[in-house]
Structure 1
Amino acid sequence: MKLLTAAALREKDVRKRLFAVAVTALLPGIGLLTYNELASREERRVEVHNQASQTARDAAAELDRVLEGAKSLLIAVSALPTVVDLDPVNCGTSLKRISSNLQMTGAILVIDAERKLVCDSQGNPAGVDFSERTYVNDGLTADADTLVVGNYTVSKLTGAAVLPVAVPLIRDEAIIGVVATAIRLDWLQERMAERDPTGRATVILADREGVILAHAPHSGGLVGTKLPEALSSKVQAAGFGTLETTGLDNNAQTIIAYRPATPVLPVFVSTGLSSAEAFSSINRTTWASLSMVLLSVVAAFLAATFVGDRFILRPIYRIVGVLESYKAGSLASRTHMESTGSELGLVGSTVDSLLDELEARRAASALSEERRSLLVGELRHRVKNTLAVVTAIARQTFPRDERLSSFSQRLSALGRAYDLIFAGQEGKSEAQIADIVRAALAPYEDDTEPPFQITGPALAVQPEGGLALSLIIHELATNATKYGALSEKGGRVLISWSSANGRVSFSWQELHGPPVAKPERVGFGSQLIGRAFPASYKPKLDLDFAPDGLKCTIEFEEEIVLGMPPHSS
């Protein structure tokens, strides 16, 4: 079963195609998931950037409130008489009473124009020199009610890390010193952390030099260190902005929003949101989508393997097997598939209908062939009986002499010629051209003076071609007897054939007969000569009505058999 074997060999290819079809069907869904994934991530990225920016603004606003509170405190302190009078004994007591209720500051200082400590809230001795402190020098030249914010500083009095702030101390419209305090960085860090109870956002405060003042919710020892290059380059930026970089504490990818230090508020504020946390929900959705895609691909593979085998390959093999069985001779083989089951069921049902029709036609053809064979046999019997009757009548009518014997022999030859024709009708095997010619011309032979010269190689033609050639020779001989070379004493006919390039060339040439003229109309004999060969032989006929005798040349294609000795007579 060559066809069935070929189908089995292509089974893997069929499954691959089914799998490809299933995966192709998934592609629009995969494309939509991909688009939604990219769109969701871009939307989330913009949302996180906006959220980080808002958090940075909230942190900056909170820092503004802290500094504004420090400013109000210092302005109120600068209005105390003991402070304005630079009374080192009484101002210390006043400052201590005020600072006892404050958590954000470690100490309140009053420093004169000589940059010397006058008094403070912790009772330190007067005279400590603050001339190297920038915020003191800036405070002595600042406008009234202006808050001067310093940089990261380690307190000279307490040794703690602080953010110093100061306002000018004015008496009689003249600056006579500064009132300063130090905002505790640990308190500032806790204050920033309170802005985000979830602890998801990271807040970083830094001075104008890029030194970290606070890192909430946990410092991790970063306070007092320099900002990384990615952030330090933004300290003096033109305005609010966002960027994506690694965090300071864990090197994780972070989305950061920042507000640069300004002359009004010389503190750099930045907030960061972890990219992993920000995209965690989308990442979970992505993994869920990928899992669904993977499950879909596995389902497609299983469908291509099992469903395809059950509903496609098996029906196909069933149909192919029936066709192979029918081809091998099992004419009753059928698929017995229902046309309502599936598309392949419809194909199987149609194949069954086709085989039923072919079987019906085969039976009808066999019956017709049987009847035709019966009619051919009957015709053959009747023709031979007719020839026998003619022979008997001739014997009873004419005296028994040599002419009657010759006449009887010719009738017998004519009967053998008809046998050859009927043999072709009955589907006999191939025949030699020489035998066909000899049998067809036997009725016209003359023992005393043979009228035919026959030459040609040993060529065998199929029954259909042999029958056509026999009919043509018989018609040519009949016409030659009536009108041509055989109608007169001494007439001759040259018969020859040859083969080249898969074509047979047969020649009939009459000599020494009466003058020949082309007939005015085409009779049945001429039509028979022109149409005897089927079109599949690609015949080519040439009739030359030359005055000295008819010449007929016939070419046709035929499978010929070589190898026999050439014939000549």
Structure 2
Amino acid sequence: MRLKLVAVAVAALAPVVAMLVYNEIALRHQRNDEVRASAAQAARQASSEVERIIEGLHALLVSVTAMPSVRHLDVQGCNEALKSVAENIPNIRTIFVVGLDGQPVCGSMAFPEGVIFSDRDYFQQVLKTKSFAVGTYTQSRLVDKPVLPLAMPLTEGEAVRAVIVSGIRVDWLQNRITERGVAPGNEVTIADDKGTIVAHVPSPERFVGTVIPEALQPLIHADQPDVIDVMGQDGTDRILGYRPIAQPSSPLYVSAGFSREEAFAPINRATVMNTFAIIGGALFAFLAAIFIGNRFILLPISRIADVMEKWRSGQTTARTGMKGADELSVVGATFDRLLDELEERRRQSQEAEEERSLLVRELAHRVKNGFTLVQAIARQTFSRSDPERYNSFAERLAALAGTYDLILSREGSASPVREIVSAALRAHVASQAERIRLDGPEVVLPADIALPLSLVVHELATNATKYGSLGSENGTVSIEWKRDGGRVLLVWTEAGGPPVSTPTKKGFGSVLIERAFPSKAQARSRSDYRPAGLVFEVIFLIGEPVAKGEVDPLGKDDMHASGT
């Protein structure tokens, strides 16, 4: 029962758990979409800021090309003008003009001896494209610090006369990105055309100047921005939004990565709390189910079962004493009323049984008095005139009285065949017990069959004593019976007596034997007067009548109808 109560608790919790699991999955999907959107937005914002910086410097270089001293390559005026510009622009280190041979012409600072720029990729790109170019991460030959070079052609008509060069300070760009700030576990990366990192948050000292991992190299020149899941170089699982290089509007690769662990931390904490809440709720539900089950289900059931066991053991006064409005209390109260009713019926039955027993004893007394009275009347009537008939009548009456004693002593309406036969033979068994054999199963006969059988056996025993085997010293009688469904077959066999012959006329005893049984018994009898002794067979019903056409063990030709 406790397991069933626990199963009920589990069934009650199952929908709640299923709903929480569904909500958990839905929240994680939603959070994943939100983080991916945030990563894409962060990458877009960082890329836009870089584009604004480069666009501003592009505009600066365009302005520089318009300066007269620069356009005329006036070294003295050019030096002063470019120095003035560089001092007012904090995000660049230098700005200078390089001739087509790669030799510096003028600039915001003095040039080291023998320095040349013709081998720089941005210089070659400007000469080739005759347009603005952004170089790659470069160690400056003027200040020996990393810069991101910018170059602009100085043209006259369609011809390039010189190249104006500047460079974004990598440390300034790094500070600008750092100032934007990133959440713990997140990162922002800016890389050049070759994949060299020019700015990184966090840990710039570890990553700036290094190359993006080979697995991420295809993202630099991808066809379009996207969001992917990656494992960072620091071992952090991230959702990465990236913006590939798209010349000339986006000359740098920008990515923003969001730590999956940090992004899902609130949901993970909520999951842990929900898990503990579910476990706690389940434990509480189980304990409540056990407590409530014990208190309101198991104890009442045990109480009812205990009362039933006490009733089985004879404690008929035991009651549950349950009252109340709940179902089990109603069952207990109904059970008490049932026990009260059964007890009342038992009392009434006991009183009726006592009355019946008293009536049976009174009936037995009156029946015996009746037999005594009949015997007295018979003795007064013909004992002197016909002593032989009186003695025969008295013996038959005694046999009938003995059978009545048997039935009445059992205080019922049925008696076993063995006891009926023994009672009928009592007058003969006393002196000849070793010469009479009884054999048959336990078969109980109703009173209306027991009395006729008793008279038949008595007549057979009387005839055997007078004329048959019981009249000689070595004679014996065997009485056997068996039951076949609702029929009983009894066989009386005599042996060891004087020779037997078929009688020439029927006496009263023979008529009594043939007509003793009632018609409903459908009795059939047969007497076989063999030289060795009489064999008498009788078959009668003790149950339902025999169906028409059913085989009769005695055979129709040799039977005599009883009572006809």
Name the TM-score class by shorter chain: 0.7 to 0.9
- Counterparts in 2 of 1:454 and 1:173: CA distance versus 1, 3 Å: same
For residue 328 of structure 2, what is the aligned residue in structure 1? 344
Q: CA RMSD in A?
A: 4.1
Assess if the C-alpha contact under 8 Å between 1:205 and 1:269 holds in 2. yes
Tell me how far apart the structure 1 counterparts of residues 552 and 450 of structure 2 sit (CA, whole Å): 14
Q: If the length of structure 2 is used for normalisation, what is the TM-score?
A: 0.80
Which of 397, 415, 439 is 1:411 aligned to? 397
Partner of 2:33, secondary structure, is helix
Assess if the C-alpha contact under 8 Å between 1:119 and 1:126 holds in 2. no
Assess if the C-alpha contact under 8 Å between 1:509 and 1:551 holds in 2. no
Which of 475, 486, 489 is 1:507 aligned to? 489
Assess if the C-alpha contact under 8 Å between 1:88 and 1:126 holds in 2. no
- Counterparts in 2 of 1:399 and 1:327: CA distance versus 1, 3 Å: closer
- Counterparts in 2 of 1:509 and 1:330: CA distance versus 1, 3 Å: closer
Tell me how far apart the structure 1 counterparts of residues 341 and 429 of structure 2 sit (CA, whole Å): 56
Tell me how far apart the structure 2 counterparts of residues 382 and 532 of structure 1 sit (CA, whole Å): 28
Query: Does residue 546 of structure 1 match 2:546?
Result: no
For residue 9 of structure 1, what is the aligned residue in structure 2? none
- Counterparts in 2 of 1:441 and 1:534: CA distance versus 1, 3 Å: farther
Assess if the C-alpha contact under 8 Å between 2:187 and 2:257 holds in 1. yes
Assess if the C-alpha contact under 8 Å between 1:331 and 1:359 holds in 2. yes
Residue type of the alignment partner of 2:303: R
- Counterparts in 2 of 1:33 and 1:427: CA distance versus 1, 3 Å: farther
For residue 418 of structure 2, what is the aligned residue in structure 1? 434
Which of 273, 290, 293 is 2:258 aligned to? 273
For residue 457 of structure 1, what is the aligned residue in structure 2? 439
Which of 234, 248, 264 is 2:219 aligned to? 234
Alignment of 1:141-540 (within 5 A): 141-143=128-130, 146-196=131-181, 201-248=186-233, 250-264=234-248, 265-340=250-325, 342-400=326-384, 401-426=387-412, 433-440=417-424, 456-457=438-439, 459=441, 461=442, 465-468=443-446, 471-475=448-452, 495-497=479-481, 506-508=488-490, 523-526=519-522, 532=542
Q: How many angstroms does 1:426 deviate by? A: 4.6
Q: How many angstroms does 1:415 deviate by? A: 0.5
Residue type of the alignment partner of 2:388: E
Partner of 2:410, secondary structure, is helix
Tell me how far apart the structure 2 counterparts of residues 161 and 398 of structure 1 sit (CA, whole Å): 161
- Counterparts in 2 of 1:325 and 1:77: CA distance versus 1, 3 Å: same
Tell me how far apart the structure 1 counterparts of residues 374 and 46 of structure 2 sit (CA, whole Å): 136
Greater Cα shift, 91-100 or 344-353: 344-353
Q: How many angstroms does 1:82 deviate by? A: 1.8
State the Cα deviation string for residues 182-240 of structure 1 (Å, max 9, x = none).
11112112223344576775210011221111113541421001112342232222211
For residue 558 of structure 1, what is the aligned residue in structure 2? none
Q: Which runs of 5+ in 1 are unaligned?
A: 1-13, 448-452, 553-569
Assess if the C-alpha contact under 8 Å between 2:421 and 2:457 holds in 1. no
- Counterparts in 2 of 1:62 and 1:103: CA distance versus 1, 3 Å: same
Tell me how far apart the structure 1 counterparts of residues 167 and 308 of structure 2 sit (CA, whole Å): 101
Residue type of the alignment partner of 2:217: S
Assess if the C-alpha contact under 8 Å between 2:187 and 2:200 holds in 1. yes
Q: How many angstroms does 1:35 deviate by? A: 0.5
Tell me how far apart the structure 1 counterparts of residues 134 and 437 of structure 2 sit (CA, whole Å): 133
For residue 108 of structure 2, what is the aligned residue in structure 1? 121
Query: Does residue 53 of structure 1 match 2:64?
Result: no
For residue 67 of structure 2, what is the aligned residue in structure 1? 80
Assess if the C-alpha contact under 8 Å between 2:425 and 2:457 holds in 1. no
Tell me how far apart the structure 2 counterparts of residues 286 and 367 of structure 1 sit (CA, whole Å): 74
Query: Does residue 94 of structure 1 match 2:77?
Result: no
Partner of 1:111, secondary structure, is strand
Greater Cα shift, 298-307 or 323-332: 298-307
- Counterparts in 2 of 1:197 and 1:466: CA distance versus 1, 3 Å: closer
- Counterparts in 2 of 1:243 and 1:137: CA distance versus 1, 3 Å: same
State the Cα deviation string for residues 411-449 of structure 1 (Å, max 9, x = none).
111101111222333599x96x43322325779x999xx
Partner of 1:140, secondary structure, is helix
Assess if the C-alpha contact under 8 Å between 1:339 and 1:347 holds in 2. no
Q: How many angstroms does 1:158 deviate by? A: 0.9
Residue type of the alignment partner of 2:137: Y
How many residues end up aligned between the 2 structures? 515
Residue type of the alignment partner of 2:133: V
Q: How many angstroms does 1:550 deviate by? A: 5.4
- Counterparts in 2 of 1:158 and 1:427: CA distance versus 1, 3 Å: farther
- Counterparts in 2 of 1:109 and 1:404: CA distance versus 1, 3 Å: same
Tell me how far apart the structure 2 counterparts of residues 190 and 62 of structure 1 sit (CA, whole Å): 13
Q: Which runs of 5+ in 2 are unaligned?
A: 470-476, 494-501, 524-538
Tell me how far apart the structure 2 counterparts of residues 204 and 446 of structure 1 sit (CA, whole Å): 127
Higher RCO, Cα 8 Å, sep 6+: 1
Tell me how far apart the structure 1 counterparts of residues 555 and 361 of structure 2 sit (CA, whole Å): 38
Q: How many angstroms does 1:510 deviate by? A: 8.5
For residue 4 of structure 1, what is the aligned residue in structure 2? none
Assess if the C-alpha contact under 8 Å between 2:486 and 2:542 holds in 1. no
Tell me how far apart the structure 2 counterparts of residues 356 and 541 of structure 1 sit (CA, whole Å): 53
